[in-house]
Amino acid sequence: MKKWFSFPLKEGRISKQAHCDLPENTYEREIGKEGFFGPATHMYHAHAPTGWSEWEGKLRPHAFDTNLVAADENCPLQAPCLLKNANVRVRIWKTNKNMTHLVRNADGDDCLFIHRGEGALFCDYGHITFSEGDYLVLPRSTSWRIETDTSVIMLMIEATNSSYMSAERGMVGDHAIFDPGVLEYPTLDDTFDAQRSSTTEWKVHIKRHDELNKVTYPFNPLDAVGWKGNLTVFRLNWRDIRPLMSHRYHLAPSAHTTFVAKDFVICTFVPRPIESDPGALKVPFYHNNDDYDEVLFYHKGNFFSRDNIEEGMMTLHPCGFPHGPHPKAMQAGKKHALKETDEVAVMIDTRQPLTMTDTACSVENQDYVYSWKTPAKA
């Protein structure tokens, strides 16, 4: 990988190095293209870019409390959808029951993030257990069901008519962030064999074009006795992710990319040391990522760049306005009181704008937009 050197244009008081050694009493804002991979300009403002006092119109920061979404869904393919566009569907599924039927998503690949609970997944490829913090990635049209040991809450991210792929690691190599060796896949073990021998009638719920079809079999369709190949369901836990770090420079969110699909990416923020260089920003920088909408699902911990955000909440920051740390987080970053982050969050960046569903609107915190108010002067 190589590229020509580029030398940026410069006006007024600036920092030579982005995200470091800001001019006194200024706030940095990055204006970028293509999700931090395209051309960018760094503005240095006298006031915080999120220091609005009033907001009229629908384009604004949104926060949703998914803890308020109804529970006890029998079929994951009918779980409430919160956000969607042509390439992705974001759902929340809550259940405390064993599934008594199979499901098969013919519309796209599924990425299931286990927010709460544990259990076992049975699928075409075999049997695999899961627990809090696991990603389960299922290729399109995989037949599957789960058995629960406890109540389960999962974030479901569907890559509609697309597939999940690994992010390009470039200079750091294929074993950076997580080694493929940590990935686990289902096996045809004794537990799978025991359920395979079931002779009872089974139904398969198949979703295509967002409509459900129900197919009945006089036997258990999960009856594989063997398989070989390089396409399968796999599991990745956030604890196996080792984030890229820089003690002298705050890395862009794209450095934490976990999965890539058509026109969107999934990133995982996990605990890491906070930048220690005296001049480096200690919190995410203000930025306009005007080619992407940004979604954050807050899984666990103390979300150091946010205020009044609890576990299980989700935010949407559409493109078109700057966002970054809340005022309290910015002040805490200046004091450098924390030495490491204590948070786990899932980010979804989408190239096409997202639509909020009625379910999302019903659990929205309407005052979230005003949590960004900052004093006129620092």
Distance in angstroms (rounded) separating the CA atoms of residues 260 and 351: 12
Q: What was the pLDDT predicted at 332? A: 67
336 versus 287: which is more confidently predicted?
Answer: 287
| DSSP bridge partners of 323 | 287
Percent above pLDDT 90 for the chain: 69
**Please, which pLDDT band fits residue 375 given cuts at 50, 70 and 90?**
low
Percent above pLDDT 70 for the chain: 97
143 versus 70: which is more confidently predicted?
Answer: 143
Among candidates 233, 237, 236, 201, which has minimal Cα distance to 123? 233
**pLDDT at residue 304 greater than cutoff 80:** no
Task: Tell me which fold the domain 27-64+242-372 belongs to.
Answer: Jelly Rolls (2.60.120)
309-320: pLDDT as tens digits: 899 999 999 998
Q: What is the mean pLDDT of the chain?
A: 91
202-208 and 102-105 strand pairing: parallel
Q: Is 362 helix (H, G, I), strand (E, B) or coil?
A: helix
Q: What was the pLDDT predicted at 289? A: 75
286-289 and 27-32 strand pairing: parallel
Mean pLDDT of 291-303: 92
Amino acid letter for position 264: F
352-369: pLDDT as tens digits: 999 999 999 999 999 999
**Please, which pLDDT band fits residue 345 given cuts at 50, 70 and 90?**
very high
Distance in angstroms (rounded) separating the CA atoms of residues 238 and 7: 38
**CA dihedral for 308, 50, 315, 355, sign (positive or negative):** positive
- Tokens (6 digits) for 280: 């480096």
**Please, which pLDDT band fits residue 305 given cuts at 50, 70 and 90?**
low
Mean pLDDT of 174-203: 92
**Please, which pLDDT band fits residue 228 given cuts at 50, 70 and 90?**
very high
Question: Within 10 A of 363 (CB to CB), how many other CB atoms are there?
Answer: 19
- Segments of the chain assigned to CATH 2.60.120.10: 27-64+242-372, 70-238
- Tokens (6 digits) for 97: 């029951």
37 versus 59: which is more confidently predicted?
Answer: 59
Q: What was the pLDDT predicted at 376? A: 47
User: What's the CA angle centered on 312, arms 307 and 317, to 5 degrees?
Assistant: 55
76-110: pLDDT as tens digits: 999 999 999 999 999 999 999 999 999 999 999 99
**pLDDT at residue 333 greater than cutoff 70:** no
Superfamily of domain covering 70-238: Jelly Rolls (2.60.120.10)
CB 318 within 8 A of CB 344: no
Highest average pLDDT, of 37-41, 277-281, 324-328, comes from 277-281
Q: What was the pLDDT predicted at 34? A: 80
Mean pLDDT of 126-140: 98
Distances (CA, A) of 241 to 17, 175, 371: 28, 11, 31
Mean pLDDT of 33-50: 88
291 versus 88: which is more confidently predicted?
Answer: 88
DSSP letter at 377 equals: -
Q: At 347, which helix (H) or strand (E)? A: strand 342-350
Distance in angstroms (rounded) separating the CA atoms of residues 218 and 102: 13
Mean pLDDT of 230-240: 97
Distance in angstroms (rounded) separating the CA atoms of residues 63 and 338: 25
Q: 15-19, 121-125, 203-207, 252-256: which range is least confident on average?
A: 252-256
Mean pLDDT of 292-321: 89
Distance in angstroms (rounded) separating the CA atoms of residues 106 and 161: 8
**pLDDT at residue 147 greater than cutoff 80:** yes
Q: How many residues can be counted in the chain?
A: 378
**pLDDT at residue 378 greater than cutoff 60:** no
241-276: pLDDT as tens digits: 999 988 998 888 888 999 999 999 999 999 999 888
Among candidates 352, 358, 366, which has minimal Cα distance to 159? 352
**Please, which pLDDT band fits residue 374 given cuts at 50, 70 and 90?**
low
- Tokens (6 digits) for 290: 């005007």
Mean pLDDT of 310-338: 83
**pLDDT at residue 231 greater than cutoff 80:** yes
For 144, phi then psi, to 5°, come to -155, 165
